Amino acid sequence: MSPIETLFTRAKLADGSLKDIGVSGGRIISIDPSSAEAPLAESVDLGGALVVPGFVEGHIHLDTSFFGDAWIPHKPCTNGFDVHERVAFQAQNMAQAAPMDERARNQLDLCIANGSTQMRSHVMVDGSVGLKSLGTVLAVREDYRDYIDIQLVAFPQSGILKSSGTPQLMDEAISMGADLVGGLDPASFDRDVEGHLNVVFGVAEKHGVDVDIHLHDGGTLGLFTIEQICSRTRALSMQGHVAISHAYGLGDLPVEAVKRAAETIAASGVSIMTNAPGNHAFPPVALLRTAGVTVFSGSDNIRDSWWPYGDGDMLGRAMMIGYRSGFYTDDELKAAFDVVTDSGAKALRLDGYGLKIGAKADFVTLKAEHVPEAVVAIPRERSVYKAGRLVARNGAVIRA
């Protein structure tokens, strides 16, 4: 057994116990009851702070936020929400914004400072931007490798069939370094569910990568699309490798229909991502979890062309999930926390996640009595450790 390089003493775990956490080579190699004796290894006294695994930011857009850049007032659509017009507004906004890599860094700093140590970001790949955004974000990811682990999804923001050359671009995006294939409202955007999914799952199968599809379509159309995605997932034995982001259809259908859908989704090993939107029906988190569905979360858009909200804080997101879901008991608040930690790790198939021996030493210290209190109080005082190294404290990233 390798010797402990750093011993984190007096860490209060979620069960209330006080432990000393030994770290070596960026991994947790020991978790023992806190001892009154002076530790031998280099030690960091956590002083009884609550210690939780680093948060999983499961859905973000590193390429499109204006956070940290000049304020861009939200421009409403001309005649009610129109996704094509919004994409056009986004192109206009991005033309006048700071360079993408600068904006991506701003957003990463925000997320890391708030305690996210793992992330999945969608990055636009379409006929207009080609693979340029992906190239930029790949380079930024490399620069941040000691701060946060990032999965990138090739995201067809302008549709796959409607945007010329996109199927080929999706394929190239994976070769270039994207980790997953994305998708976007196969029915309402491309008007061709099967054609859209043929490309998504085709590229995924060819490269052996996972899938994460944006699905805003609601009601029975959304439900139908979910069923089609589940069916393809099972046919390709991709259980555990497919996620649907938003899945609004699960939020606005009768509970009996949603229960049946939840069984299908669970049996297909498809994960559901929700950010608990403010004025839109969203998937019933408790019902899905009870059915065995992995529900994870993310900030989604942060201060971009789609809306002005978002703070990059996955603990705050857990509060919002609980608040919007009517979670009041300690067990319910723990469930909201699970969504932004362990369930996120499961959906992203993260290796070595959690406070356990052998896992990466990625953790956050919080000034809170326990997890339920942390979820409702969202304490700002935090220290964030990545691979055992302090990477952020009280809202500021610490450079090596």
Number of residues interacting with a copy of itself: please give it, by CB under 8 A: 33
Q: Considering only residues 3, 16, 33, 73, which one is a binding residue for a copy of itself as defined by CB under 8 A?
A: 73
Q: Considering only residues 300, 304, 338, 362, which one is a binding residue for Zn ion as defined by CB under 5 A?
A: 300
Does 333 contact a copy of itself by CB under 8 A?
yes
> Which one of 18-26, 225-233, 299-307, 352-360 is the stretch in contact with Zn ion (CB under 5 A)?
299-307
Q: Between residues 57 and 313, which has the closer beta carbon with respect to a copy of itself?
A: 313
Q: Considering only residues 131, 319, 335, 392, which one is a binding residue for a copy of itself as defined by CB under 8 A?
A: 319
Q: Considering only residues 172, 239, 323, 346, which one is a binding residue for a copy of itself as defined by CB under 8 A?
A: 323
Per-residue binding letters, 20-39, with a copy of itself (x by CB under 8 A): --------------------
Q: Between residues 263 and 330, which has the closer beta carbon with respect to a copy of itself?
A: 330
> Which one of 10-18, 71-79, 121-129, 262-270 is the stretch in contact with a copy of itself (CB under 8 A)?
71-79
Q: Considering only residues 278, 356, 357, 390, which one is a binding residue for a copy of itself as defined by CB under 8 A?
A: 278
Does 63 contact Zn ion by CB under 5 A?
no
Which of 1, 2, 21 has the alpha carbon at shortest distance from 10? 21
Q: Between residues 26 and 308, which has the closer beta carbon with respect to a copy of itself?
A: 308
Q: Between residues 2 and 329, which has the closer beta carbon with respect to a copy of itself?
A: 329
Q: Which does 300 bind (CB under 5 to 8 A by kind): Zn ion, a copy of itself, none?
A: Zn ion
Smallest distance, Zn ion to C-beta of residue 129, A? 16
Q: Between residues 78 and 279, which has the closer beta carbon with respect to a copy of itself?
A: 279
Instruction: Report the length, in residues, of the chain.
Output: 400
With contact defined as beta carbons under 8 Å apart, do 84 and 44 qualify? no
Q: Which does 311 bind (CB under 5 to 8 A by kind): a copy of itself, Zn ion, none?
A: a copy of itself
Does 279 contact a copy of itself by CB under 8 A?
yes
Which residue shows structure tokens 């890391």? 112
Smallest distance, a copy of itself to C-beta of residue 377, A? 7
> Which one of 96-104, 196-204, 308-316, 355-363 is the stretch in contact with a copy of itself (CB under 8 A)?
308-316
Which of 230, 278, 222 has the alpha carbon at shortest distance from 247? 222
Per-residue binding letters, 341-380, with a copy of itself (x by CB under 8 A): ----------------------------xx-xx--xxx-x
What are 3's two structure tokens?
Answer: 């010797």
3-state SS record for the chain = CCCCCEEEEEEECCCCCEEEEEEECCEEEEEEECCCCCCCCEEEECCCCEEEECEEEEEEECCCCCCCCCCCCCCCCECECCHHHHHHHHHHHHHHCCCHHHHHHHHHHHHHHHCEEEEEEEEECECCCECHHHHHHHHHHHHCCCCCEEEEEEECCCCCCCCCCHHHHHHHHHHHCCCEEEEECCCCCCCCHHHHHHHHHHHHHHHCCEEEEEECCCHHHHHHHHHHHHHHHHHCCCCCCEEEEECHHHCCCCHHHHHHHHHHHHHCCEEEECCCCCCCCCCCHHHHHHCCCCEECCCECCCCCCCCCCCCCHHHHHHHHHHHHCCCCHHHHHHHHHHCCHHHHHHCCCCCCCCCCCCECCEEEECCCCHHHHHHHCCCCEEEEECCEEEEECCEECCC
Which of 327, 335, 344 has the alpha carbon at shortest distance from 151? 344
Q: Between residues 224 and 309, which has the closer beta carbon with respect to a copy of itself?
A: 309
Smallest distance, Zn ion to C-beta of residue 246, A? 7
Q: Between residues 177 and 308, which has the closer beta carbon with respect to a copy of itself?
A: 308
Does 149 contact Zn ion by CB under 5 A?
no
Distance of alpha carbon 54 from the chain centroid: 12
Q: Considering only residues 17, 220, 307, 396, which one is a binding residue for a copy of itself as defined by CB under 8 A?
A: 307
Query: Residue 38: is it exposed, middle or buried by C-beta count within 10 angstroms (0-12/13-18/19+)?
Result: exposed
Binding site for Zn ion (CB under 5 A): 300
Binding site for a copy of itself (CB under 8 A): 71, 73-76, 278-280, 303, 307-311, 319-320, 322-326, 328-330, 333, 369-370, 372-373, 376-378, 380
